[in-house]
Amino acid sequence: MEIPTTAVDIAWNVRNNIVKATDVVEQHLAAIAEREPEVHAFNLVLADEARARAAEIDDAVSVGRDPGLLAGVPVALKDNMCTRGIPTTCSSKILGDWRPPYDATVVTRLVEAGAIVVGKTNLDEFAMGSSTENSAFGPTRNPLDTSRVPGGSSGGSSAAVAAKFASLGFGSDTGGSIRQPAALCGVVGVKPTYGAVSRLGLIAFGSSLDQIGPFAHTVADAALALEAISGHDPGDSTSIQQGPLQLTRQLDMGVAGLRVGRITDLPTGASPDVEERVEVAFDALRAAGAEIVDVEVPAFTYGLTAYYLIAPAEASSNLARFDGVRFGMRVDAPDTNAMYMATRTEGFGDEVKRRIMLGTYALSAGYYDAYYGRAQKVRRLIANDFAAAYEQADVLVLPSSPSVAFEIGDKASDPLAMYLCDTYTIPSNLTGDPAMSVPYGTGEHGLPVGVQVIAPALHDDVMFRTAATLERSLG
Instruction: Read off the pTM.
Output: 0.97
Secondary element (H or E) of residue 439 = strand 435-442
Which residue blocks in 143-252 are alpha helix, DSSP H? 155-162, 179-185, 219-229
Confidence band (pLDDT; 50, 70, 90) for 327?
confident
Q: Is the pLDDT assigned to residue 364 strictly greater than 70?
A: yes
Once rounded to an integer, what is the mean pLDDT over residues 462-473?
98
Other C-beta atoms closer than 10 Å to the C-beta of 93 total 17
DSSP category for residue 145: B
Residues labelled as active-site residues: 78, 153, 177
Contact yes or no for 289/257 (Cβ under 8 A): yes
Report the pLDDT value the prediction gives residue 207, as an integer from 0 to 100.
97
Report the pLDDT value the prediction gives residue 417, as an integer from 0 to 100.
93
Measured in degrees and rounded to the nearest 5, phi and psi for residue 209 equal -120, -35
Please report, rounded to a whole number, the percentage of residues in the chain having pLDDT higher than 70. 100
Kindly report, residue by residue over 55-72, the tens digit of the pLDDT: 999 999 999 999 999 999
Q: Is 289 left (phi over 0), alpha (psi -120 to 50) or beta?
A: left
Report the pLDDT value the prediction gives residue 326, as an integer from 0 to 100.
84
Kindly report, residue by residue over 201-259, the tens digit of the pLDDT: 999 999 999 999 999 999 999 999 999 999 999 999 999 999 999 999 999 999 999 99
Mean per-residue pLDDT of the chain: 97
SS3 call for 214: strand
Rounded Cα distance, 403 and 279, in Å: 15
Q: Is the pLDDT assigned to residue 1 strictly greater than 80?
A: no
Contact yes or no for 213/170 (Cβ under 8 A): yes
Measured in degrees and rounded to the nearest 5, phi and psi for residue 291 equal -100, 125
Report the pLDDT value the prediction gives residue 190, as an integer from 0 to 100.
98
Kindly report, residue by residue over 264-319, the tens digit of the pLDDT: 999 999 999 999 999 999 999 999 999 999 999 999 999 999 999 999 999 999 99
Rounded to an integer, what is the distance from CA 102 to the centroid of its chain?
A: 22
Contact yes or no for 344/333 (Cβ under 8 A): no
Other C-beta atoms closer than 10 Å to the C-beta of 27 total 18
Q: Is the pLDDT assigned to residue 260 strictly greater than 70?
A: yes
Kindly report, residue by residue over 66-109, the tens digit of the pLDDT: 999 999 999 999 999 999 999 999 999 999 889 999 999 999 99
Report the pLDDT value the prediction gives residue 248, as an integer from 0 to 100.
97
Measured in degrees and rounded to the nearest 5, phi and psi for residue 393 equal -140, 150
Q: Is the pLDDT assigned to residue 12 strictly greater than 90?
A: yes
**Architecture label for domain 7-250:** Alpha-Beta Complex (3.90)
- The full set of domain ranges for the chain reads 7-250
Q: Is the pLDDT assigned to residue 163 strictly greater than 90?
A: yes
SS3 content of the chain, % helix, strand, coil (to 5): 45, 15, 45
Rounded Cα distance, 427 and 344, in Å: 31
Q: Is the pLDDT assigned to residue 475 strictly greater than 90?
A: no
Q: Is the pLDDT assigned to residue 187 strictly greater than 70?
A: yes
Measured in degrees and rounded to the nearest 5, phi and psi for residue 44 equal -155, 125
The 10 Å CB-count burial string (b at 16+, else e) for 402-417 is bbbbbebeebbeeeee
Cα separation values, 470 from 11, 23, 52, 201, 386, Å? 24, 33, 38, 34, 22
Kindly report, residue by residue over 369-405, the tens digit of the pLDDT: 999 999 999 999 999 999 999 999 999 999 999 999 9
Please report, rounded to a whole number, the percentage of residues in the chain having pLDDT higher than 90. 96
